[in-house]
Amino acid sequence: MGYNTKQREKLLEYLIENKEQHMNVQKINSCFVNEGINVGTATIYRQLDKLVEQGIVRKYIIDEKTGACYQYIDSENDCHRHFHLKCTRCGKLIHLTCDHLSGLGDHIYEHHGFRVDPSKTVFYGLCADCEGAVQE
Amino acid sequence: MGYNTKQREKLLEYLIENKEQHMNVQKINSCFVNEGINVGTATIYRQLDKLVEQGIVRKYIIDEKTGACYQYIDSENDCHRHFHLKCTRCGKLIHLTCDHLSGLGDHIYEHHGFRVDPSKTVFYGLCADCEGAVQE
DNA sequence: TTGCGTGCAAAGGTTTTGCATGGCA
DNA sequence: TGCCATGCAAAACCTTTGCACGCAA
Protein backbone atom coordinates (compact mmCIF):
# COMPACT_ATOMS: atom_id res chain seq x y z
CA MET A 1 0.00 0.00 0.00
CA GLY A 2 3.00 2.28 0.18
CA TYR A 3 4.41 4.59 2.79
CA ASN A 4 2.28 7.04 4.68
CA THR A 5 4.27 10.20 4.13
CA LYS A 6 3.27 13.62 5.35
CA GLN A 7 2.88 14.78 1.72
CA ARG A 8 0.35 12.05 1.10
CA GLU A 9 -1.49 12.94 4.30
CA LYS A 10 -1.64 16.62 3.43
CA LEU A 11 -2.92 15.87 -0.05
CA LEU A 12 -5.59 13.47 1.13
CA GLU A 13 -6.65 15.83 3.89
CA TYR A 14 -7.03 18.62 1.38
CA LEU A 15 -9.05 16.49 -1.02
CA ILE A 16 -11.36 15.40 1.76
CA GLU A 17 -11.87 18.98 2.89
CA ASN A 18 -12.89 19.85 -0.66
CA LYS A 19 -14.70 16.69 -1.53
CA GLU A 20 -17.69 18.57 -2.95
CA GLN A 21 -15.62 20.09 -5.70
CA HIS A 22 -13.22 19.13 -8.43
CA MET A 23 -9.65 19.99 -7.76
CA ASN A 24 -6.88 20.17 -10.27
CA VAL A 25 -3.16 20.12 -9.65
CA GLN A 26 -2.89 23.86 -10.05
CA LYS A 27 -5.41 24.53 -7.28
CA ILE A 28 -3.79 22.03 -4.98
CA ASN A 29 -0.40 23.49 -5.63
CA SER A 30 -1.33 27.09 -4.97
CA CYS A 31 -3.16 26.14 -1.82
CA PHE A 32 -0.07 24.40 -0.51
CA VAL A 33 2.04 27.40 -1.41
CA ASN A 34 -0.34 29.72 0.45
CA GLU A 35 -0.18 27.59 3.54
CA GLY A 36 3.57 27.38 3.35
CA ILE A 37 3.48 23.65 2.75
CA ASN A 38 6.17 22.60 0.35
CA VAL A 39 5.11 19.71 -1.85
CA GLY A 40 6.65 19.28 -5.28
CA THR A 41 4.37 19.14 -8.28
CA ALA A 42 5.76 15.80 -9.31
CA THR A 43 4.83 14.40 -5.93
CA ILE A 44 1.27 15.65 -6.29
CA TYR A 45 0.93 13.92 -9.64
CA ARG A 46 2.51 10.72 -8.39
CA GLN A 47 0.38 10.57 -5.26
CA LEU A 48 -2.78 11.37 -7.18
CA ASP A 49 -2.04 8.50 -9.53
CA LYS A 50 -1.73 6.17 -6.59
CA LEU A 51 -4.89 7.45 -4.93
CA VAL A 52 -6.78 6.90 -8.17
CA GLU A 53 -5.36 3.42 -8.55
CA GLN A 54 -6.33 2.61 -4.99
CA GLY A 55 -9.88 3.76 -5.62
CA ILE A 56 -9.70 6.56 -3.08
CA VAL A 57 -9.91 9.39 -5.56
CA ARG A 58 -11.65 9.72 -8.91
CA LYS A 59 -10.10 11.41 -11.89
CA TYR A 60 -12.17 13.36 -14.39
CA ILE A 61 -11.33 14.54 -17.86
CA ILE A 62 -13.70 17.45 -18.22
CA ASP A 63 -11.77 20.00 -20.16
CA GLU A 64 -8.54 19.50 -22.03
CA LYS A 65 -7.32 22.97 -21.22
CA THR A 66 -7.66 22.98 -17.47
CA GLY A 67 -6.11 19.58 -17.09
CA ALA A 68 -7.38 16.61 -15.16
CA CYS A 69 -9.61 17.05 -12.13
CA TYR A 70 -9.60 14.95 -9.02
CA GLN A 71 -12.21 14.34 -6.38
CA TYR A 72 -12.23 12.34 -3.19
CA ILE A 73 -14.70 9.48 -3.32
CA ASP A 74 -17.03 9.90 -0.41
CA SER A 75 -18.13 6.38 0.36
CA GLU A 76 -21.29 7.60 2.06
CA ASN A 77 -22.80 9.31 -0.91
CA ASP A 78 -20.62 8.36 -3.80
CA CYS A 79 -22.13 7.42 -7.06
CA HIS A 80 -20.59 5.89 -10.08
CA ARG A 81 -23.29 7.40 -12.18
CA HIS A 82 -22.26 10.92 -11.37
CA PHE A 83 -22.54 12.91 -14.60
CA HIS A 84 -21.56 16.45 -15.44
CA LEU A 85 -23.36 19.22 -17.24
CA LYS A 86 -21.31 22.00 -18.75
CA CYS A 87 -22.81 25.22 -20.00
CA THR A 88 -21.40 26.12 -23.38
CA ARG A 89 -22.06 29.80 -22.80
CA CYS A 90 -20.79 30.63 -19.32
CA GLY A 91 -18.69 27.53 -18.75
CA LYS A 92 -20.40 26.61 -15.50
CA LEU A 93 -20.00 23.00 -14.46
CA ILE A 94 -22.95 21.31 -12.81
CA HIS A 95 -22.72 18.04 -10.96
CA LEU A 96 -25.71 15.86 -11.57
CA THR A 97 -26.53 13.61 -8.70
CA CYS A 98 -27.14 9.96 -9.29
CA ASP A 99 -30.79 9.77 -8.30
CA HIS A 100 -31.99 11.41 -11.44
CA LEU A 101 -29.78 9.68 -13.90
CA SER A 102 -29.43 6.35 -12.26
CA GLY A 103 -30.08 3.66 -14.75
CA LEU A 104 -28.86 5.66 -17.70
CA GLY A 105 -25.58 3.80 -17.94
CA ASP A 106 -27.35 0.51 -17.33
CA HIS A 107 -29.89 1.19 -20.02
CA ILE A 108 -27.25 2.00 -22.59
CA TYR A 109 -25.29 -1.07 -21.63
CA GLU A 110 -28.23 -3.45 -21.67
CA HIS A 111 -29.95 -2.16 -24.76
CA HIS A 112 -27.04 -0.92 -26.80
CA GLY A 113 -24.06 -2.91 -25.56
CA PHE A 114 -22.09 0.21 -24.78
CA ARG A 115 -20.33 0.73 -21.47
CA VAL A 116 -20.46 4.45 -20.68
CA ASP A 117 -17.65 6.01 -18.68
CA PRO A 118 -19.17 8.82 -16.58
CA SER A 119 -15.79 10.22 -15.66
CA LYS A 120 -15.26 11.24 -19.29
CA THR A 121 -18.80 12.04 -20.33
CA VAL A 122 -20.04 15.60 -20.18
CA PHE A 123 -23.44 16.89 -21.25
CA TYR A 124 -23.15 20.17 -23.11
CA GLY A 125 -25.90 22.72 -23.36
CA LEU A 126 -27.27 25.87 -21.74
CA CYS A 127 -27.78 26.37 -18.04
CA ALA A 128 -30.94 28.06 -16.81
CA ASP A 129 -29.35 31.49 -16.49
CA CYS A 130 -27.82 31.44 -19.94
CA GLU A 131 -30.89 30.09 -21.66
CA GLY A 132 -32.84 33.01 -20.29
CA ALA A 133 -30.15 35.42 -21.40
CA VAL A 134 -30.03 34.03 -24.92
CA GLN A 135 -33.77 34.27 -25.44
CA GLU A 136 -33.89 37.93 -24.49
CA MET B 1 -17.85 32.90 -42.54
CA GLY B 2 -14.26 33.68 -43.35
CA TYR B 3 -12.12 33.31 -46.42
CA ASN B 4 -12.06 30.14 -48.42
CA THR B 5 -8.36 29.48 -48.54
CA LYS B 6 -6.74 26.47 -50.13
CA GLN B 7 -5.52 25.32 -46.71
CA ARG B 8 -9.07 25.24 -45.45
CA GLU B 9 -10.20 23.36 -48.54
CA LYS B 10 -7.46 20.77 -48.21
CA LEU B 11 -8.24 20.22 -44.56
CA LEU B 12 -11.97 19.86 -45.09
CA GLU B 13 -11.42 17.57 -48.07
CA TYR B 14 -9.19 15.38 -45.98
CA LEU B 15 -11.65 15.22 -43.10
CA ILE B 16 -14.48 14.31 -45.45
CA GLU B 17 -12.40 11.57 -47.06
CA ASN B 18 -11.83 10.13 -43.60
CA LYS B 19 -15.18 10.83 -42.12
CA GLU B 20 -15.56 7.30 -40.77
CA GLN B 21 -12.67 7.83 -38.38
CA HIS B 22 -11.52 10.56 -36.08
CA MET B 23 -8.28 12.29 -36.92
CA ASN B 24 -5.85 14.16 -34.73
CA VAL B 25 -3.57 16.99 -35.71
CA GLN B 26 -0.56 14.71 -35.87
CA LYS B 27 -2.20 12.45 -38.46
CA ILE B 28 -3.41 15.38 -40.51
CA ASN B 29 0.00 16.94 -40.42
CA SER B 30 1.92 13.86 -41.50
CA CYS B 31 -0.55 13.19 -44.29
CA PHE B 32 -0.02 16.68 -45.63
CA VAL B 33 3.72 16.25 -45.40
CA ASN B 34 3.54 12.98 -47.32
CA GLU B 35 1.55 14.58 -50.08
CA GLY B 36 3.87 17.53 -50.23
CA ILE B 37 1.19 19.91 -49.06
CA ASN B 38 2.62 22.54 -46.82
CA VAL B 39 0.19 23.63 -44.11
CA GLY B 40 1.47 24.97 -40.83
CA THR B 41 0.41 23.30 -37.63
CA ALA B 42 -0.95 26.56 -36.26
CA THR B 43 -3.16 26.86 -39.31
CA ILE B 44 -4.54 23.37 -38.80
CA TYR B 45 -5.45 24.20 -35.22
CA ARG B 46 -6.96 27.53 -36.16
CA GLN B 47 -9.02 26.12 -39.00
CA LEU B 48 -10.18 23.18 -36.92
CA ASP B 49 -11.38 25.58 -34.27
CA LYS B 50 -13.42 27.42 -36.85
CA LEU B 51 -14.85 24.24 -38.34
CA VAL B 52 -15.92 23.12 -34.89
CA GLU B 53 -17.48 26.47 -34.15
CA GLN B 54 -19.34 26.34 -37.45
CA GLY B 55 -20.73 22.93 -36.60
CA ILE B 56 -19.01 21.25 -39.55
CA VAL B 57 -16.63 19.18 -37.50
CA ARG B 58 -16.94 17.58 -34.09
CA LYS B 59 -14.12 17.58 -31.58
CA TYR B 60 -13.47 14.69 -29.21
CA ILE B 61 -11.37 14.42 -26.12
CA ILE B 62 -10.67 10.72 -25.95
CA ASP B 63 -7.52 10.66 -23.94
CA GLU B 64 -5.79 13.56 -22.31
CA LYS B 65 -2.43 12.31 -23.52
CA THR B 66 -3.07 11.81 -27.21
CA GLY B 67 -4.68 15.18 -27.72
CA ALA B 68 -7.96 16.12 -29.35
CA CYS B 69 -9.55 14.24 -32.24
CA TYR B 70 -11.69 15.67 -34.98
CA GLN B 71 -14.32 14.16 -37.20
CA TYR B 72 -16.45 15.53 -40.01
CA ILE B 73 -20.15 15.64 -39.21
CA ASP B 74 -21.98 13.75 -41.89
CA SER B 75 -25.01 15.88 -42.57
CA GLU B 76 -26.97 12.97 -44.00
CA ASN B 77 -27.60 11.85 -40.47
CA ASP B 78 -29.72 14.18 -38.45
CA CYS B 79 -27.27 14.63 -35.64
CA HIS B 80 -29.30 17.19 -33.77
CA ARG B 81 -31.89 14.74 -32.56
CA HIS B 82 -29.89 11.81 -31.31
CA PHE B 83 -26.98 11.24 -28.98
CA HIS B 84 -23.56 9.95 -29.84
CA LEU B 85 -21.53 7.21 -28.29
CA LYS B 86 -17.81 7.29 -28.91
CA CYS B 87 -15.70 4.27 -28.20
CA THR B 88 -12.51 5.40 -26.52
CA ARG B 89 -10.69 2.31 -27.69
CA CYS B 90 -11.49 1.87 -31.39
CA GLY B 91 -12.88 5.32 -32.09
CA LYS B 92 -16.15 4.01 -33.48
CA LEU B 93 -18.96 6.57 -33.45
CA ILE B 94 -22.43 5.24 -32.76
CA HIS B 95 -25.49 7.33 -33.51
CA LEU B 96 -27.98 6.44 -30.85
CA THR B 97 -31.63 6.87 -31.62
CA CYS B 98 -33.57 5.68 -28.65
CA ASP B 99 -36.95 6.50 -27.21
CA HIS B 100 -35.70 6.00 -23.70
CA LEU B 101 -32.98 8.57 -24.23
CA SER B 102 -35.08 11.10 -26.03
CA GLY B 103 -36.82 11.74 -22.73
CA LEU B 104 -33.47 12.30 -21.09
CA GLY B 105 -33.11 15.85 -22.33
CA ASP B 106 -36.61 16.70 -21.19
CA HIS B 107 -35.95 15.21 -17.80
CA ILE B 108 -32.79 17.20 -17.29
CA TYR B 109 -34.52 20.35 -18.44
CA GLU B 110 -37.49 19.94 -16.17
CA HIS B 111 -35.60 18.90 -13.08
CA HIS B 112 -32.35 20.82 -13.45
CA GLY B 113 -33.19 23.70 -15.74
CA PHE B 114 -30.46 22.67 -18.12
CA ARG B 115 -31.08 22.50 -21.85
CA VAL B 116 -28.92 19.69 -23.21
CA ASP B 117 -27.70 19.98 -26.75
CA PRO B 118 -27.52 16.42 -28.12
CA SER B 119 -25.46 17.46 -31.12
CA LYS B 120 -22.65 18.56 -28.84
CA THR B 121 -22.93 15.86 -26.23
CA VAL B 122 -20.93 12.68 -26.57
CA PHE B 123 -20.99 9.64 -24.33
CA TYR B 124 -17.53 8.17 -23.97
CA GLY B 125 -16.97 4.55 -23.16
CA LEU B 126 -16.39 1.11 -24.65
CA CYS B 127 -18.39 -0.43 -27.45
CA ALA B 128 -19.44 -4.08 -27.23
CA ASP B 129 -16.55 -5.33 -29.35
CA CYS B 130 -13.92 -3.45 -27.42
CA GLU B 131 -15.30 -4.32 -24.03
CA GLY B 132 -15.03 -7.99 -24.95
CA ALA B 133 -11.51 -7.48 -26.22
CA VAL B 134 -10.41 -5.71 -23.07
CA GLN B 135 -11.74 -8.38 -20.76
CA GLU B 136 -9.81 -11.15 -22.46
C1' DT C 1 18.90 -1.00 6.73
C1' DT C 2 15.94 -1.27 2.70
C1' DG C 3 13.73 0.65 -0.76
C1' DC C 4 9.94 3.63 -1.63
C1' DG C 5 8.88 8.66 -1.69
C1' DT C 6 10.44 13.24 -2.58
C1' DG C 7 12.25 17.47 -4.81
C1' DC C 8 14.28 19.69 -8.36
C1' DA C 9 15.05 20.48 -12.92
C1' DA C 10 14.75 18.99 -17.45
C1' DA C 11 12.25 16.90 -20.98
C1' DG C 12 8.00 15.37 -23.18
C1' DG C 13 3.92 16.38 -25.59
C1' DT C 14 0.01 19.21 -27.42
C1' DT C 15 -1.79 23.65 -28.21
C1' DT C 16 -1.47 28.76 -28.39
C1' DT C 17 0.41 33.20 -29.60
C1' DG C 18 3.18 37.21 -31.81
C1' DC C 19 4.41 39.15 -35.78
C1' DA C 20 5.54 39.86 -40.42
C1' DT C 21 4.02 38.22 -44.81
C1' DG C 22 0.71 36.47 -48.13
C1' DG C 23 -3.68 36.00 -50.38
C1' DC C 24 -8.93 36.21 -50.65
C1' DA C 25 -12.71 39.20 -51.71
C1' DT D 1 -7.25 47.98 -51.13
C1' DG D 2 -8.58 46.11 -46.62
C1' DC D 3 -8.44 42.60 -43.73
C1' DC D 4 -8.30 38.00 -42.63
C1' DA D 5 -5.34 33.80 -42.98
C1' DT D 6 -0.87 31.82 -42.94
C1' DG D 7 3.83 30.35 -41.47
C1' DC D 8 7.40 30.23 -38.55
C1' DA D 9 9.27 30.15 -34.20
C1' DA D 10 8.76 30.86 -29.57
C1' DA D 11 6.04 30.40 -25.70
C1' DA D 12 2.61 28.43 -22.68
C1' DC D 13 0.77 24.61 -20.63
C1' DC D 14 0.10 20.20 -18.32
C1' DT D 15 2.39 16.11 -17.27
C1' DT D 16 6.24 12.82 -16.98
C1' DT D 17 10.92 11.37 -16.03
C1' DG D 18 15.93 11.00 -14.19
C1' DC D 19 18.57 11.22 -10.41
C1' DA D 20 20.34 12.06 -5.93
C1' DC D 21 18.74 12.51 -1.40
C1' DG D 22 15.50 11.74 2.47
C1' DC D 23 12.51 9.30 5.23
C1' DA D 24 9.03 5.53 6.66
C1' DA D 25 8.92 0.98 8.29
* Segments in B2-127 forming alpha helices (H): 6-17, 25-34, 41-53, 99-112
Q: What is the pLDDT of residue B3?
A: 96
- Helix (H) / strand (E) containing A71: strand A69-72
Average pLDDT over residues B98-112: 85
For an interface test with A, give the residue of B62, B124, B127 to mutate (most A CBs within 10 A).
B124
Q: What is the pLDDT of residue A81?
A: 59
Rounded CA-CA distance B87/B93 in Å is 7
Cβ(B67)–Cβ(B25) under 8 Å?
Answer: yes
Average pLDDT over residues A117-134: 88
User: What residues of chain B lie within 8 A of the CB of A111, using their CB?
Assistant: 98, 100
Q: Is the pLDDT of residue A3 over 90?
A: yes
Q: What is the pLDDT of residue B75?
A: 77
DSSP secondary-structure letter at B65?
T
Please check whether strand D approaches the CB of B134 to within 7 Å. Answer: no
Rounded CA-CA distance A56/B87 in Å is 26
Percent of chain A past pLDDT 90, that is, above it, reads 60
Q: What is the pLDDT of residue A27?
A: 95
Residue (of B106, B93, B18) closest to B60 by Cα position: B93
Bridge pairing between strands B69-72 and B23-24: antiparallel
Q: What is the pLDDT of residue A16?
A: 96
Taking the CA of residue B60 and the C1' sugar atom of nucleotide C16, their distance in angstroms comes to 19
Contacts 24+ apart (CB under 8 A), B42-49: B43/B7, B44/B11, B47/B7, B47/B8, B47/B11, B48/B11
Rounded CA-CA distance A97/A81 in Å is 8
- Helix (H) / strand (E) containing A32: helix A25-34
Q: What is the pLDDT of residue A50?
A: 97
Residue scoring higher pLDDT (B119 or B72): B72
The predicted model scores a pTM of 0.89
**Is A108 within 8 Å of B96 when comparing Cβ atoms?**
yes
Residue (of A78, A69, A84, A23) closest to B112 by Cα position: A84
Predicted confidence (pLDDT) per residue in B17-49, tens digit: 999 999 999 999 999 999 999 999 999 999 999
Q: What is the pLDDT of residue A99?
A: 65
Predicted confidence (pLDDT) per residue in A66-87, tens digit: 899 999 998 766 655 578 899 8
Protein residue closest via CA to C1' of C6: A43
Q: Which residue spans within B52-116 are E strands per DSSP?
A: 57-60, 69-72, 83-87, 93-96, 115-116
Rounded CA-CA distance A37/B26 in Å is 40
Looking at every residue in chain B, the average pLDDT score rounds to 91
3-state helix, strand, coil in chain A (%, to 5): 40, 20, 40
